[in-house]
Amino acid sequence: MASSVHISLGVSDLARAEDFYRKFFGEPVKSKPDYVKFVLGDPELHLALQPAHVEGPGALSHLGIRVDSANAVGRWKADLERRGLPVGEERREDCCYALQDKFWLSDPDGNRWEIYTVLEDLDQRPDASPTCCRPAPGESCC
């Protein structure tokens, strides 16, 4: 059996979160009044949503999906825009010791997702962006 990543997010409004993630990932494999689960094949990901008291940002920096090319980043962005999700500007950035093409979007509770590809690994972090992998809500990375 292949390995996969499982993420469980506490959400303040399960219906709003389910709507967002339907647009992001497609139909859930399970949808109950107090639980929703999405299972993706590419990337292999199991995402569970459960109601929780959410107040302010937590310890989670962000979530990401690494794709294999800048073209794939563009395809993800165009597809999510067609599904009605607001996505950030696609950009090339020095971030997290790598030159990346990426864009950002946020779920209804402010959990930040980046869709990115690594173009080149870097030996040093850029001076201008010491915390680029932790964008503030409403701000783009770097």
pLDDT in tens, 7-64: 989 899 999 999 999 999 999 999 999 999 999 988 888 888 888 876 766 567 789 9
d(CA 140, CA 80): 17
139 domain residue, yes or no: no
31 domain residue, yes or no: yes
- Give first-to-last CA distance, the chain, whole Å: 38
pLDDT band at 88 (very low <50, low <70, confident <90, very high): very high
Same domain, 102 and 69: yes
The sign of the dihedral angle between the CA atoms of 45, 34, 82, 94 is: negative
Same domain, 75 and 120: yes
The count of structural domains within the chain is 2
24 domain residue, yes or no: yes
Instruction: Give kind and range of the element (H or E) at residue 50.
Output: strand 44-51
What pLDDT score was predicted for residue 142? 34
Same domain, 72 and 118: yes
pLDDT band at 131 (very low <50, low <70, confident <90, very high): very low
Same domain, 86 and 110: yes
pLDDT one-digit tens code per residue, 111-129: 999 999 999 988 876 655 5
d(CA 43, CA 6): 11
d(CA 108, CA 140): 16
Rounded mean pLDDT, 75-92: 94
Same domain, 29 and 68: no
Rounded mean pLDDT, 58-79: 89
Which domain, by its residues, includes 75? 62-128
Instruction: Extract the tokens encoding 129.
Output: 């962006």
Does pLDDT of 136 surpass 50? no
Which of 95, 62, 90, 92 has the alpha carbon at shortest distance from 76?
A: 90
Same domain, 44 and 66: no
Same domain, 76 and 117: yes
78 domain residue, yes or no: yes
What pLDDT score was predicted for residue 140? 43
| Burial class (CB within 10 angstroms; exposed 0-12, middle 13-18, buried 19+) of 124 | exposed
d(CA 10, CA 80): 23
d(CA 75, CA 22): 17
Same domain, 67 and 124: yes
Task: Identify the CATH number of the domain in which residue 88 sits.
Answer: 3.10.180.10
